[in-house]
Structure 1
Amino acid sequence: MIRKVLLVDDEPAVREALAQSLELADLEPVTAGSFTVARDTISAEFDGVIVSDIRMPGKDGFVLLDHAQNVDPELPVIFLTGQGDIPMAVRGMSAGAFDFLEKPCAASDLVAVVEKALRTRALVLENRRLKLKLETGDAAARMIFGESRLAAALRDRVRAVARTTAEVLLTGAPGSGTGKVAEVIHLLSGAAQRPFQKLPGALATPETLRDAFTAGRGGTVFIDEVAELTPPAQHALLDLLEAREGARVVAGTYRDLTEEVEAGRFNADLFYRLDLVRVRIPALKERPEDIPVLFRHYVSQACEQAALPQPEIDPETLSRLMEQDWPGNARAVMNAAMRFAMGLREDDGEAGELGLSERLAQVERSLLIDALRRAGGNATEAARGLKLPRKTFYDKLARHGISAGVYRDS
């Protein structure tokens, strides 16, 4: 999740107060006292937004806005204005500023505008990533791994579904890759150049659903674990679907929605709207011949991201992997591959030669890396996921020699 904010103001006291407000909201401010200092941070790859004073000595906020737009026209810039500078703020909005706030501004107002800009930035960067994938060939062949009959059938089914505009219900056990399949459906659809948004069902509200449909107009909204939608969110989603405006919905679930409807936990009308086209993702235990393919891919990926040498994967290791049921599916294979790439072998004999402290250190290192991978290299988000203070998290990274930047999303 994107949390970075480049904060530009020539008054140290103002910078410090604004930075503190952002930090209290779990955002990551980077401060600069002038355009010259801020310039080095601004790039097309900058995964954050800019908050800048308009009036600054030398090169002012308009120069900064012009520079930012030359670097990346879709990089949000929020202006801070003094009292009586509203005409300048309006001029800034006309020139392409994302929004403006009048100083002194309430912390809640600052955070609200910044959060909105961060969501916009995240969507822009995600769509660029998807466009790059789109330009490199058949997304189904590239992103749905496996040589089994079931994997081939899944790819064919996804290609066929992508050609329609109907809502799609993806079913599969936890870790089976519903999010990836939803992304492939989007990439192969006629809406591939439009936005693709992911929304966790447990966090969705009527407001965030409406925002997703508005921002994703003409594109695809993927609702991860749709069974976790609250009743108000279910009704809001049904209203949006019945209005036939906005985005196509692809919903994922590992639960039996028929049972959820019978138990009164899921809206029956919404179920029938979502269940127009169903795609079932087979569990790994149904296609064990695909496990070596997945394992080799994830080992290669982990080594590339961590700049590690590629280890040899012997037939005995692959045989052992194929004998397991893998209840965690592809996600569990990915975790095992990460450990293998780091030299943390799975066999009990080797682990037994280590003392308790060494074995616990291996587990801790694995958990830290897994948290960073899930957070796309965002250390603050990873620390939050592990329920650790940021300083403690950074201390542990240093102790294990782990660099968060290695796991940053490309």
Structure 2
Amino acid sequence: MSEETILFVDDEEHLRFAAEQSLSLEDLSVMCFADAERALTRISRAFPGILVTDIRLPGMDGLTLMRRALEIDPEFPVILVTGHGDVELAVRSMRDGAYDFLEKPYAPSRLVETVRRALDKRRLTIENRQLRQQVGARDAIEARLTGRSAVMVALRQQIRAIAATEADVLIVGETGVGKEVAARALHRASGRGEMPFAHINCAALPADLIESELFGHEAGAFAGAMRTRIGRFEAARGGVVFLDEIDSLPLPLQAKLLHAIQNRAITRLGSNEPVDLDVRFIAASKRDLEADAATGRFRSDLLYRLNVVTLHIPALPARREDIPNLFVHLVGEAAARYKRPTPEVSGALLSAVAARDWPGNVRELRNAADRFVLGLDPALVPSETGLEGGDGLGERMAAHEKALIAASLAAHGGRLKETYEALQISRKALYEKMQKYDLSREAFLEED
């Protein structure tokens, strides 16, 4: 956290000097301002300081400044400084959210004492938020990205590591693996979790309206532009912009997107005035953007700006041991969504589910769970084509055996005796096969 700071606002220079001297002598950091507007730019939910402001100010007065500060953060401590005639007004303002007030002339010790109490309150508020965010971030990530396979554990660890940063992120993976789910988990776990999440499917934007949709336009910028329109980027200010299927953006728009990311500013169509952007960019693609950059289909400089961090979302066959538990999880979600009782999922059904290839990845598995809950596909028997592929018979049989063992372990909550009895093999054979396929009993233990 940055240094705790007092923002002190008063239009009289000698009072600013006196306050700065009194607070500095007590080793308190203070920034003095002659007007409210400049002080307001320093205030945010994460700002680790407080505000002390005179009520009577030129331009924006102290009460308006207080209201604006509390709109940004309702728990932000504001101390009002008032003349004798404004005491009643200051008392009413405390009911509206002011932390305390000081009546002029006040003793330096009174200022220091009040400021210290307000800083203590602010410190506690921020610490509590950070604790709640850490717990909430863990829950949010694990709730969205389930799975105990090594690749999913590593993915969650990577998201936790970058969530608190402001780094832009590129998410890559096949269709249906859950790129948007990962983006939302990252957003929820970040400091922007309570701010907007703007999901923009670049492939679905009308070609003739892409620029206006993203950057906005002024009235009269083109035929039919009757009034000013704020673009999707500007509307997401303070939050996250998720650019799904970014490889679909035309090259001219890629250049403008690069400018927006580099400068964190956009210019509406029909305007020459830049608009500052306070957003984090997350992009996603199912294509190999490095290969596209090599052929000129995608701008290499935009790629380098976007992939400060790259998250690779594994395809479902790469984490086959997760399929049984994931299917059970999706069945539970579907039952809640359709307001149906959660049907029992047998070990045999989990074995069949785990044996399928699921080329549509998690999206296809979710659709299967929906059909199962609705009674439209109760058997979910793997199709014959599900056994076809480029691997030889031995590889396919090994993959099938691993999936069956993982499914049985999942069905029995990692309990080995029930697992080897259900598979009708010896305890020693189960141990050997688990070692052969790198299956850990701990990965299937039922959680309390």
Partner in structure 2 of residue 157 of structure 1: 158
Aligned to 1:54: none
Do 2:353 and 2:382's aligned partners in 1 also have CA atoms closer than 8 Å?
A: no
Matched residues in 2 for 1:196 and 1:281: separation?
20
Q: CA separation in 1, counterparts of 2:332 and 2:195?
A: 31
Q: Secondary structure at the match of 1:282?
A: coil
Corresponding residue number in structure 2 for 1:259? 291
Select which of 306, 310, 313 maps to 2:338: 306
- TM (norm. structure 1) is 0.51
Cα displacement (A) at 1:135: 5.9
Q: Is the 8 A contact 1:206 1:237 kept in 2?
A: no
Change in CA separation of 1:165 and 1:319 when aligned onto 2, cut-off 3 Å: same
Deviations 1:332-391 (A, max 9, x none): 11001011111123648899xxxxxxxxxxxxxxxxxxxxxxxxxxxxxxxxxxxxxxxx
Among 259, 264, 281, the alignment partner of 1:249 is: 281
SS of residue matched to 2:191: coil
Match of 1:216 in 2: 236
Structure 2 residue aligned with 1:125: none
1:279 is paired with a residue whose SS is strand
Q: Distance in 2 between the 1:236 and 1:207 partners?
A: 12
Query: Are 1:184 and 2:203 an aligned pair?
Result: no
Q: Is the 8 A contact 1:261 1:267 kept in 2?
A: yes
Look up the match of 1:200: 201
For the residues of structure 2 that align with 1:200 and 1:212, how far apart are their CA atoms? Answer: 11
Secondary structure at 1:138's aligned position in 2?
helix
| Contact 1:202/1:230, CA 8 A, preserved across alignment | no
Classify the secondary structure of the residue corresponding to 1:221.
strand
What pairs up with 1:230-379 in 2 under 5 angstroms? 230-244=250-264, 245-345=277-377, 347=379
What is the alpha-carbon distance in structure 1 between the residues aligned to residue 148 and residue 297 of structure 2? 38
Give secondary structure in 2 for the equivalent of 1:287.
Answer: helix
AA aligned opposite 1:220: V
Question: How far does residue 212 in structure 1 lie from its aligned partner after superposition?
Answer: 2.0
* Post-superposition CA distance 1:95-151 (Å, at most 9, x none): xxxxxxxxxxxxxxxxxxxxxxxxxxxxxxxxxxxx99x969621112111111111
Equivalent residues of 2:356, 2:382 under 8 A apart:
no
Report SS of the residue matched to 1:300.
helix
User: Which secondary structure does the structure 2 equivalent of 1:222 belong to?
Assistant: strand
Q: Secondary structure at the residue paired with 1:197?
A: strand
What is the TM-score when the length of structure 2 is the normalising length?
Answer: 0.47
- 1:254, 1:349 → 2: CA distance? 29
Offset, 1:313: 0.6
Partner amino acid for 2:213?
Answer: T
How far is 1:287 from its partner? Answer: 0.7
- Measure, in 1, the Cα distance between the counterparts of 2:353 and 2:359: 12
Q: 2 CA distance for matches of 1:331 and 1:156? A: 23
Deviation for aligned residue 1:311? 1.3
User: How far has the Cα of 1:170 moved from its partner?
Assistant: 0.3
**In 2: Cα distance, 1:159 partner to 1:327 partner:** 28
Partner amino acid for 1:207?
Answer: S
Is the contact made by 2:293 and 2:299 (CA closer than 8 Å) also made in structure 1? yes
Q: Which amino acid aligns with 1:288?
A: R
User: Residue type of the partner of 2:212?
Assistant: E
1:366 aligns with: none
Q: 1:269 to 1:288 in 2, by over 3 A?
A: same
Instruction: Give ranges in structure 2 of 5+ residues lacking alignment.
Output: 1-131, 216-230, 265-276, 384-448
8 A contact 2:199–2:241 mirrored in 1: yes
- The offset of 1:203, in angstroms, is 3.1
RMSD of the TM alignment (CA)? 2.5
- Deviations 1:44-95 (Å, cap 9, x if unpaired)? xxxxxxxxxxxxxxxxxxxxxxxxxxxxxxxxxxxxxxxxxxxxxxxxxxxx
Aligned residues: 221
Partner of 1:59: none
1 CA distance for matches of 2:318 and 2:136? 32
- Other-structure match for 1:169: 170
8 Å CA contact 1:167, 1:274 repeated in 2: yes
Provide structure 1 residue ranges, at least 5 long, that are not aligned to the other structure: 1-130, 352-410
Aligned to 2:343, the other structure's residue is in SS state coil
* TM-aligned CA deviation for residue 195 of structure 1: 1.2
Cα distance in 2 for partners of 1:216, 1:137 equals 24
Give the drift of 1:233: 2.1
Q: Judging changes above 3 Å, is the alpha-carbon distance between structure 1 residues 348 and 275 closer, same or farther for their aligned structure 2 residues? A: closer
Query: Structure 2: how far apart are the matches of 1:215 and 1:350?
Result: 46
